[in-house]
């Protein structure tokens, strides 16, 4: 009878998705959901949604909720982290200040100035959570969904003895997108992917043993509307030879190729997740309100809510560990030689077997050198940020921004330091003291 604790459950649409998945999983007929959020109003909505889902499922799950995680952590078998730390208050600063220096971001929550400051706000709270889990639920598996994913997992595994796996949907979603672009049934494609979160690579894409990349390259010539759905990722594929695992908007920020000059932004960027400037900054607060309203509408019966199992990996991990049914998921885990030509003290995203023994990462081998080089630059950024937070080392945080690919392509070292100082000052109330000059 598993106990699943969701921390940051006030991001209630995602919490509802995870709970729906679990309630639709064969063999998980009984258990406990424990919901935690520091915002009492959002927590109440999440609790109402959990009780609604349990009733709809007809299963024998109980629901607990508390703004104090120490009240519900004891007995937890699985802890799912979905926290957002001061995002509403700072998403504007994360975009506007870098833009003054010429760094134009679409999303800014994984790397770059926005991703850096999101990490610096989030990781101290994450470390506090892990310390409480270690003390109160020492045998729990921790599943992280919070971005920046690689950084959150890396800092966690360096600070804690707990088993931690980072979960994202980018690889499985991309596999479905590729099948759609190719007009091939998803079940018929054979693929292999690995790298780091949001910058992993489909190094194999086949059907019946035939390489599908020549066909995909021809499809975007014959059907320009397909190219328009994902221009940055198709450019990466054309020149680097592999399709990457996150949206064109995210990917456009991960290298210096696409956003360092206005003419390049005009040429390659499109609306929304295809690269729109300031997309998150302009929409994030509205989305949060819209998501909460969606749940209220479902609870009131105004909108139908279908209980179905989606593609997120959490329920498959719990199913494997509770019932023994094996499955393969993609997890963000410490690189213990899994990808041979990436740093062995960093976090990589690889296929993992799951069964009663838990999450077991599989060996991948070597990435093509040029793809590994792009990932390794990100991993240097991750190492510096984790070092900054764990050792209270401000200079390491500044140096992380100096090795960020897009920021380095646009700014001088002096400008990068000035940008960091300005962002740290305006976000002072949400950052640890060591980050102030």
Verify whether residue 169 is a known catalytic residue: yes
Q: The dihedral of CA 173, 130, 384, 336: what is its sign?
A: negative
Which DSSP letter does residue 71 get? H
E strand or H helix at 239, and its extent? helix 231-240
Question: Is the preceding peptide bond at 379 cis, omega within 30 degrees of 0?
Answer: no
From 169, 239, 363, 382, the catalytic residue: 169
| CB contact set of 280 (below 8 Å; sequence gap of 6+) | 91, 95, 105, 106, 107, 108, 109, 114
Q: How far is CA 296 from the centre of its chain?
A: 26
How far, in Å, CA of 381 to CA of 155, rounded? Answer: 12
Which ranges in 37-140 belong to alpha helices (H)?
Answer: 40-57, 69-72, 87-100, 112-136
Q: At what angle do helices 394-403 and 112-136 cross, to 10 degrees?
A: 130
What SS3 state is found at 432?
A: coil
How far, in Å, CA of 398 to CA of 421, rounded? Answer: 9
Provide the b/e sequence for 45-64 (b: ≥16 CB within 10 Å). Answer: bbbbbbbbbbeebebebebe
**Phi then psi dihedrals of residue 419, to 5 deg:** -60, -45
E strand or H helix at 353, and its extent? strand 347-355
| CB contact set of 326 (below 8 Å; sequence gap of 6+) | 320, 353, 354, 355
How far, in Å, CA of 401 to CA of 379, rounded? Answer: 12
**Phi then psi dihedrals of residue 308, to 5 deg:** -145, 155
Question: If we measure between CA atoms, which residue out of 62, 3, 10 comes closest to residue 36?
Answer: 10
Greatest Cα pair distance in the chain: 61
Which DSSP letter does residue 261 get? S
| Residues labelled catalytic | 169
């Amino acid at each position: 009878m598993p106990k699943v604790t969701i921390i940051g459950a006030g991001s209630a649409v995602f919490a509802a998705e995870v709970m729906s998945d679990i309630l639709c999983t064969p063999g998980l007929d009984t258990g406990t959901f424990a919901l935690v959020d520091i915002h009492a109003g959002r927590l109440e909505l999440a609790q109402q949604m959990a009780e609604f889902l349990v009733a709809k499922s007809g299963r024998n799950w109980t629901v607990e909720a508390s703004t104090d995680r120490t009240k519900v952590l004891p007995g937890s078998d699985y802890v799912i982290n979905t926290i957002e730390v001061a995002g509403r208050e700072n998403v504007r600063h994360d975009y506007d200040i870098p833009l003054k220096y010429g760094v134009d971001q679409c999303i800014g929550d994984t790397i770059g100035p926005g991703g850096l400051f999101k990490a610096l706000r989030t990781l101290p709270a994450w470390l506090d959570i892990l310390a409480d889990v270690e003390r109160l639920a020492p045998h729990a598996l921790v599943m992280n969904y919070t971005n920046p994913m690689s950084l959150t997992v890396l800092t966690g595994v360096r600070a804690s003895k707990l088993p931690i796996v980072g979960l994202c949907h980018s690889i499985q979603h991309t596999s479905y997108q590729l099948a759609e672009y190719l007009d091939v049934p998803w079940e018929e494609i054979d693929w292999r992917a690995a790298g780091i979160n949001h910058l992993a690579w489909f190094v194999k894409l086949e059907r019946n043993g035939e390489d599908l990349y020549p066909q995909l390259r021809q499809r975007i010539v014959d059907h320009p509307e397909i190219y328009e759905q994902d221009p940055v990722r198709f450019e990466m594929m054309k020149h680097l030879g592999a399709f990457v695992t996150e949206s064109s908007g995210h990917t456009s920020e991960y290298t210096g190729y696409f956003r360092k000059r206005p003419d390049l932004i005009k040429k390659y960027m499109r609306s929304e997740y295809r690269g729109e400037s300031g997309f998150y900054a302009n929409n994030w607060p509205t989305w949060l309100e819209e998501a909460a309203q969606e749940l209220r509408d479902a609870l009131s019966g105004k909108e139908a809510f279908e209980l179905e199992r989606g593609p997120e990996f959490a329920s498959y991990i719990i199913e494997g560990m509770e019932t023994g049914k094996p499955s393969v998921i993609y997890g963000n885990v410490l690189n213990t030689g899994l990808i041979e030509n990436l740093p062995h003290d960093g976090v990589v995203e690889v296929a993992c077997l799951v069964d009663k023994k838990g999450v077991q990462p599989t060996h991948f081998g070597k990435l093509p050198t040029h793809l590994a080089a792009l990932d390794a630059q990100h991993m240097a950024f991750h190492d510096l940020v984790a070092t900054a937070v764990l050792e209270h080392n401000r200079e390491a945080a500044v140096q992380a921004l100096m090795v960020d690919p897009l920021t380095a392509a646009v700014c001088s070292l002096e400008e990068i330091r000035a940008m960091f100082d300005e962002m740290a000052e305006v976000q002072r109330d949400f950052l640890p003291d060591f980050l102030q000059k």
